[in-house]
Homo-oligomer: A and B are copies of this chain.
Amino acid sequence: MAKDFPTREENYSQWYTDLVTRADLAENSAVRGCMVIKPYGYAIWEKIQAQLDKMFKETGHSNAYFPLFIPKSFFSKEANHVEGFAKECAVVTHYRLKNSEDGKGIVVDEDAKLEEELIVRPTSETIIWDTYRNWIQSYRDLPILVNQWANVVRWEMRTRLFLRTTEFLWQEGHTAHETKQEAIEETLKILDVYATFAEKWMAMPVHKGLKSANEKFAGAIDTYCIEALMQDGKALQAGTSHFLGQNFAKAFDVKFLSKENELEYVWATSWGVSTRLMGALIMAHSDDNGLVLPPKLAPIQVAIVPIYKKPEQLEAISEKANIIRKNLEAKGISVKYDDRTTFKPGWKFNEYEFKGVPVRLAIGPRDLENGTVEVARRDTLEKETYQLTDIESKIEHLLEKIQENLYNKALNFREENTLKADTWEEFKALVEKGGFILAHWDGTTETELKIKEETKATIRTIPLNNKQEDGKCIYSGKPSKERVIFAKAY
């Protein structure tokens, strides 16, 4: 355990920040609100990207790339979008610098002022729909199923590494369809991709559902989301998929000639997940000893540490260790054999524990004699001595077990921290305690905003296929047909 590393109970917020920086995942940069994603953190993001990209392609999507800059006027074209988005943005006003007159530095060249300011994209619906206008003439040009991996900028006043940063990395899918039905199906298909990824790869259970009118994307008809619960009892929105109706098609005049030979506006969706997933991943599983990573997203799945006193012992251990490494790698498992002589085994043990490596193997001279290896699991911190026979299959199986255990642990935590509130007093007490709260709500934005004002809790989602039952809104007492999920959120 790193020195001075706070426990979650002592200071959850500090625990998170220290974990991110000390485990070499990310750090703040010289530019306010912008982070540096360090190699170890970026390696996790690459695994996230690779798997999601595969799933997008398997569902028929292609990648493309659209400009970083968006003309200011584009944002005014979709009325709700401009209200929700165009305000806190990085604005490019000039395109040249020059030497200052005192010769000591550089200054903005006032002669190089742009006629129209450019906004660094906070999201790309506008520039993409401006482009789609030229791509779409007839139903034969549809659907367009395009995704973009990109950086975006939203000028945040209070930032936290991965969770809320001024610049972040994400993917944004933007699809165009002939019919409303097809666009809604696309929105839900992607929601399933996100949920599958969260549960099977991140080992993080999520609720799939709809956002309330107040929480939906600026410009969407309906916003669907996946919502997860963090260990401090706060919710985290991990991904959103928007059914945009014909809003952007109308704003950018994108029509197509239908099979019935009529000019119609195109139907749209957009959907995205970001480096925020890194924050969710870190918070979902890690503990007071540091990072805990699900095997499927761990850059190093197995670390092997030699234990020796004499150089000739190291040689014999290395021979064995390298065979194990190669055999594990042949199974597609990523292995680091750490034979550095500059660090002691104890230091290495701490290092891999803190960095969340799922399985650590230690091999000493006695193991060589006995044909054994010491196997330590990061998730349970248990150690066990394994016979070397068929060790690769055993490790492969263990990694699967760890993946499953992490998911089940997170699921149990969520179940234990999901409670029903039937009165306003109960509700307030549960908000104080943290966790997901299932409560009746009268369906109005007015009530939702009052609840938020008084408790800071918001409606995280209205679950898909939600159980219908008669009840009364915990705030207004008006009749309600279903419980929705409330929580305080990141």
Contact = CB atoms under 8 A, between A and B. Distances in A.
Interface of A: 27, 29-31, 34-39, 42-43, 45-46, 62-76, 82, 86-98, 104-106, 108, 117-120, 127, 130-131, 134, 140, 146, 150-151, 153, 155, 167, 169, 342
A31 B63 contact: no
Contacts of A45: 65
Contacts of A64: 36-39, 42
A26 to B, nearest CB: 9
29 contacts: A29-B131, A30-B127, A31-B70, A31-B118, A34-B67, A35-B67, A37-B64, A39-B64, A42-B64, A43-B62, A43-B63, A68-B120, A68-B153, A72-B106, A76-B106, A82-B106, A87-B98, A88-B96, A90-B92, A90-B94, A91-B93, A91-B95, A93-B94, A93-B108, A95-B155, A97-B119, A108-B117, A150-B151, A151-B151
A29 B64 CA distance: 13
A67 B106 contact: no
A42 B61 CA distance: 12
Q: Is the interface of A mostly helix, strand, loop or mixed?
A: mixed
Nearest to A43: B62
Contacts of A43: 62-63
A167 B94 contact: no
Contact of A39 (B127, B134, B146): B146
Given A42-B64, A93-B108, A69 B127 contact: no
Contact of A91 (B108, B119, B140): B108
A45 B43 CA distance: 21
Contacts of A106: 72, 75-76, 82, 86-87
Given A34-B67, A76-B106, A88-B96, 7 more contacts: A27-B134, A37-B65, A39-B146, A42-B63, A72-B97, A86-B106, A88-B95
A68 B130 contact: no
B71 A30 contact: yes
Nearest to A165: B67
Contacts of A92: 90-93, 120
A65 B37 CA distance: 5
Shortest 7 CB-CB contacts between residues of A and residues of B: A34-B67, A39-B62, A37-B65, A91-B94, A95-B155, A76-B105, A93-B93
A88 to B, nearest CB: 6
A63 B75 CA distance: 34
Contacts of A120: 68, 92, 120
A76 B90 CA distance: 22
Nearest to A69: B31
Nearest to A26: B65
